[in-house]
Chains A and B, each alone.
Chain A
Amino acid sequence: MAEKILMKGNEAIAEAALRAGLKGYFGYPITPQNEITAYMSARMPELGRVFVQAESEVAAINMVYGAASTGERCMTTSSSPGIALMQEGISYMCGAEVPAVIVNITRGGPGLGNIGPSQCDYNQVTRGGGNGDYDLIVYAPHTLQEAVDLTYKSFEISEKYRNPVMILGDGALGQMAETVVLPDFKEKEKPDAGWELNGAKARSPRSVKSIRLAEGKLLEHNLHLEEKFKLISRNETEYSYEDGDYDVLVVAFGTAARVAKTSLKNLKEQGYNLGLFRPVTVHPFPYEELRKAASKAKKILVVEMNRGQMLFDVRLSVQNDEKIEFIGKPGGETFMPEEIENKILSCLK
């Protein structure tokens, strides 16, 4: 087994991407993800790969769009306001079916907000933000090891479905240090799947585009994207849940789930009957799995570092608002375990 090493979250994510065979990194400075860009500026050239500091997030995502349209593994990283600027490119890439990985180390909003850890981009990344009907595949890790593992596999997932993937972290995950086991270096196995732009030599010319002007063609394309996302939902939905009949079932993702784990541990030691349902993919969302888990619980408590965004997905899933309670923390701040514990205790009354 590989050695455990202590790494900062942002650097661990960067190293995992390198090891996944990343060929091109295009980034723009924004806190709290700056360590990724700095790390890449040293490591990518060291490995003979491409690093470009773009002039804006708009340019960075479009450099990824261009570079990834050749079939090379590419990535950009940013934080909330920067992700907002990337929505144009993300919409085009989803429409043109260009695989790539985008990391969002979320910070407090709206607007310039602050640089504290937040989950206020849930709607932005699961409900688009760019124009048109499209879906990102969004992973929400809650530890650095999980961030490393998900980043490492996200490139293959994005290529399998020709769809951009987002790693949804937050300032806490990006800035904390934790021990991780790093995966081995790998390369993309299949360099040409039949759509990549690499020169029309001994074949017809190819185009990568989201435009469909002929009557009916855009409808057809949208229905294809819809079918694709249904397939992704069937195959790739991930969550963490230990089966049980709980008095309170906490639903949380990312850093909120991490804090909730401490709260649950403290209360379970006092004899309370509590469980955690943690979506790992927040898009596709594990609606059916949560519905089943919730049907066996007396109360559902949704915990988010925002004003209640995943809450809507939980309501859609559970279909019983009477059972659902919510505790939120917007503004780029993190929960203390006691806050969640007190809320759980009030749910039990």
Chain B
Amino acid sequence: MTVAFKKPESLLDAKTIYCPGCGHGVIHRLVGETLDELDIREKTVGIAPVGCAVLLYDYFNTDIVEAPHGRAPALATGIKRVRSDLNVFSYQGDGDLASIGMGEIMHAAGRGENITIIFVNNANYGMTGGQMAPTTLPHQITTTTPKGRNTATDGFPFKMAELIANLDAPVFSARVKITDPKNINKAKKTIKYAFSLQKENKGFAFVEILSACPTNWGKTPSEAVKWVSDAMESYYPLGIFKDIWGGE
């Protein structure tokens, strides 16, 4: 019998706490498949964020350290510097990475640490119940922008993949979405490339993933997926913003 589809060895056989239609499950799987395919599971240390993915150690069959809110790139720096043989990735949401952790991500990128960053952008703070994130779209309603994000007082969203690409040190920065099989496959290819760069000691790689948060957006899973493509993608264009090795 041929097995057509199975759980990656890099993931544990666990039920996640994620809401129906949440993107984390798919993204976990893509990272898990990547660790399997590049044969790096056994030397991986992942860094869990504060946010919905805080329980990463319950889902990944790899070593995991849990970071304070936003500090994952600093932990990743420490780990990779003293143990350059390990494969080190941080898995962070938008509040974690682009708000409280803006300093840590920009400086880890600026130093060109040989690490991989998986950045999940769902345009709000998920775990705390849907507050405005730095990535919340103009006019988007959240629990702290009840009349919609007012750019006059709340400012504009941060386009992290473009910001990272503008720095000199990073070697790769891209934005993908996981709305449909075709884009999920594209996202997988991008994630795998980002990890392969680290494996080959080629430098700092950043993958931003547009992901649905139906619960906090007040949408059904299918409406939420549609909103990613209709609303989010028009503000956050997909693409590769930097790839100095030219492999993607």
Binding site for B on A (CB under 8 A): 23-24, 26, 50, 52, 54-56, 58-60, 62-70, 72, 74, 88-89, 92, 96, 197-202, 205-211, 213
Contact = CB atoms under 8 A, between A and B. Distances in A.
B225 interface: no
Contacts of B64: 197, 205-209
20 contacts: A23-B82, A26-B78, A50-B82, A59-B104, A59-B107, A62-B71, A63-B75, A63-B77, A65-B74, A65-B78, A70-B86, A89-B68, A92-B66, A199-B42, A200-B42, A200-B44, A200-B63, A201-B42, A205-B64, A211-B66
A215 to B, nearest CB: 15
B35 to A, nearest CB: 11
B61 interface: yes
B60 interface: yes
Contacts, number: 136
A66 B65 contact: yes
Contact of A66 (B41, B43, B44, B74): B74
A62 B42 contact: no
A50 B80 CA distance: 10
B57 interface: yes
Given A55-B107, A58-B103, A207-B64, A66 B54 contact: no
A205 B62 contact: yes
Nearest to B90: A66
A63 B78 contact: yes
A69 to B, nearest CB: 5
B22 interface: no
Given A63-B77, A63-B81, A200-B41, 16 more contacts: A24-B81, A59-B107, A62-B78, A65-B74, A66-B65, A92-B66, A197-B64, A198-B86, A199-B45, A200-B44, A201-B42, A202-B42, A205-B61, A207-B57, A208-B64, A209-B66
A130 to B, nearest CB: 10
Interface of B: 12, 41-45, 47-48, 54-55, 57, 60-68, 71, 74-79, 81-83, 86, 103-104, 107, 111
A22 B62 CA distance: 26
Contact of A62 (B12, B44, B57, B67): B67
A54 B108 CA distance: 9
Given A207-B65, A209-B66, A59 B71 contact: yes
